[in-house]
Amino acid sequence: MSTVSEAGAAAGATFHGSLPAPVGSPRLRLAQTLAVVRLELSRMLGRRGLAWVIFLVLPPLALAGGFAFMIRFIEAMPLSHAALVYAGIYHGFLLALVLFFGCVAIFTSLVRREMRDRTLHYYFLTPVRRELLLVGKYLAGVIASFVLLGFATVGTWLLVYAPFLSLDPEGLSRFVRGGAGLGHLGAYVGVTLLGCIGYGAVFLATGIFFKNPVVPALSIYGWEAINFLLPASLKQVSIIYYLGGLLPVAVDEGPFALIVAPPSPWLAVPGLLALSAVLLALSALRARRMELAYGED
Amino acid sequence: MRGSEMTARDLSAASAAATAGEAPAVPVAERSRPRAVATSDRSIVFDDVSKFYGEVLGVNGISLVLEPGITGLVGPNGSGKTTLMNLMAGLLRPDRGSVRVMGLTADEPERLFRLVGYSTQYDAFPRGMTGFRFVYGYLRVHGLGRAEAERRAWEAIERVNLVDAARRKVAGYSKGMRQRIKLAQAISHRPAVLVLDEPLNGLDPMARAEMLELFRHQAEEGLHVLVSSHILHEVDDVSDRVVLIHGGYVVAEGEIAGVREEVEEQAMQILVRCDGPGRLAARLFAEGRVTEASLHADGQGVSVRTRDADGLYLALNRLVVEEGLAVEAVAPGDADVGAVYQYLIGGSQ
């Protein structure tokens, strides 16, 4: 049904005249999605959830800072050990805890918090398809989480390698300029981005499908945490398995770990992106049929 | 919708049934049949709309056609006003029937919400936002550019007389200011249909007068203004028509004067439990006190309908003595209807 009344058309005419493109056009939809992203980012700045994420990124930075301080007292620590130290901090702390719970805090609140605050209807009453609203919210979440967690990734890396500016300046220069240094950093940042995308989609869906997303989030955490103990077939049903396989330095997961071949980057990256797309599509379908009866929620 | 034909439903039956959680006594086929009213592309049409929250009735079998002008949607708290408005705006989906706003359904949000502005009853706002940012931000989501959104936001804020406070955070606003900024947000995109759920709540008399004047102004521009209230007196001055809703059913609709008349003309049902209901009914008929009487199946009571309840009660006192009846109870059979109406008119009568 595309007919609009005279009054509606009259009202719409003045409105449509102000739009950058016709209703339903890709250009208008892009403008609307970007507006959602901007609005969400500005709102996130005032959210307590984001403060929690900032709080979360401090411990790994402190840990790296502590390492940078302690290394002065360790004689002849080779640069290659720093790569192992960073890999341990990243895998055991940043990836397994900070990135996971940072994404829980940011993405579960995108929809669920608005339902709790009784403000989601403001979005639902705008002339935007709910699928696009969700994509806009998700993109805002990815940007916010990546900025914070990417900062933690880079900051921690810089802190770990900073002492070598005085301990082994030549080695550090070779490592960064000619060696694997920047490649490592790029890989870690890339994994952080993929983590934000993957976990973001998971927790956006969690926030939409569950009234209390904390319980499923903790269940997922438990599953991810025991991933190193699982056989290969079950390892594949997780995000940490694919992210871990993309890390530039392998990490010893302990004596009880079931060692399996890491996934190929050609499988891990598209696989994670595809999983995220599927979860996003499911969330969008749910949002499309969602009813807002806050009292009953 | 001035001059339109007034339609009043079977008030007592519907209300009694609603109270009992059953369908009203009017025939189901009649209730569910869309009314034979000519609709135009400008109409808002509820066609046999029902909505249940699990086992709880929201609204049932609502068929309405609303034309441009101000429509007052009046009913007690929990009567289904908000459900009806939320169904119209697509925040809820009907379990049965359909809602069309100027020919559009909620499945076409990109078109529908250019035409509809809705100020909900929820007194909640995104955290940390100023009044201006609240209006402006959602205008950008409509797709407007920065300059145009800013212009329209100020225009709307000016209309609700909130310019001075626009740069302050909404969290610091008074209840009246929050109502006004919600209204500004609802009108900022210049909708053709303005839906206002209890917009006068928390407003002082001056602010109410300003708000009502604003509604009038919007209606004069050819807009639909659907405004809900639980006090009839609150909206009857500005409404072209009213829809009375109770227990999920529309109990009366039309021009305000007509609705009052119709409701007052409704015969009232009174139940009398006694040991000689047949004799009592015969005497009441003989004296012309009742228009209808039906004996209870157990032979221990009679239900009568009267247009003069006070006169009937006086006559009952006399007849009980004269006939030597043992009366167990006398009670209004549809007391809730009367109560509803008395409640709606809020002592203004």
- Answer yes or no: is pLDDT of A215 > 50: yes
Helix (H) or strand (E) holding B117, with range, is strand B116-119
Contact B192 A31 (CB under 8 A): no
Residues 6+ apart with CB under 8 A from B30: none
CA neighbor of A132 nearest in space, from B55, B4, B202, B109: B109
Residue B29 phi, psi (nearest 5): -60, -40
CA–CA gap between residue B122 and residue A118 (Å, rounded): 7
Contact B141 A124 (CB under 8 A): no
- Answer yes or no: is pLDDT of A70 > 70: yes
Contact B127 A31 (CB under 8 A): no
Residue B112 contacts A where some CB pair is shorter than 8 Å: yes
pLDDT 10s digits, B80-133: 999 999 999 999 999 999 999 999 999 999 999 999 999 999 999 998 899 999
Residue A13 contacts B where some CB pair is shorter than 8 Å: no
Contact A296 B53 (CB under 8 A): yes
pLDDT at B146: 93
Residue A18 contacts B where some CB pair is shorter than 8 Å: yes
Q: Which residues of B touch A130 (CB under 8 A)?
A: 109
Residues 6+ apart with CB under 8 A from B228: B72, B73, B74, B75, B81, B82, B85, B196, B197, B198
Shortest distance between the Cα of A164 and any Cα of chain B, in A, equals 44
Per-residue pLDDT band at A287 (split at 50, 70, 90): very high
Per-residue pLDDT band at B344 (split at 50, 70, 90): low
Put simply, the chain A residues between 121 and 140 with a CB less than 8 A from any chain B CB are 121-130
CA–CA gap between residue A109 and residue A128 (Å, rounded): 20
Count other C-beta atoms under 10 Å from residue B133's C-beta.
Answer: 19
pLDDT at A182: 85
Which of A4, A38, A117 shows the shortest C-beta gap to B111? A4
pLDDT 10s digits, A253-275: 777 767 777 788 888 899 899 99
Of all residues in chain B, what percent carry a pLDDT higher than 70? 81
Residue bearing the bigger pLDDT, A129 or B77:
A129
Contact B91 A128 (CB under 8 A): no
Q: Which residues of A touch B190 (CB under 8 A)?
A: 11, 14-15
Residue B151 contacts A where some CB pair is shorter than 8 Å: no
Interface predicted TM-score (ipTM) of this complex, two decimals: 0.82
pTM of this prediction?
A: 0.79
- Strand-pair partners of B62: B49
Q: Which residues of A touch B141 (CB under 8 A)?
A: 32, 35-36, 39, 123, 126, 128
Half-sphere exposure of A267 (CA within 13 A, CB side): 10
Contact B111 A23 (CB under 8 A): yes
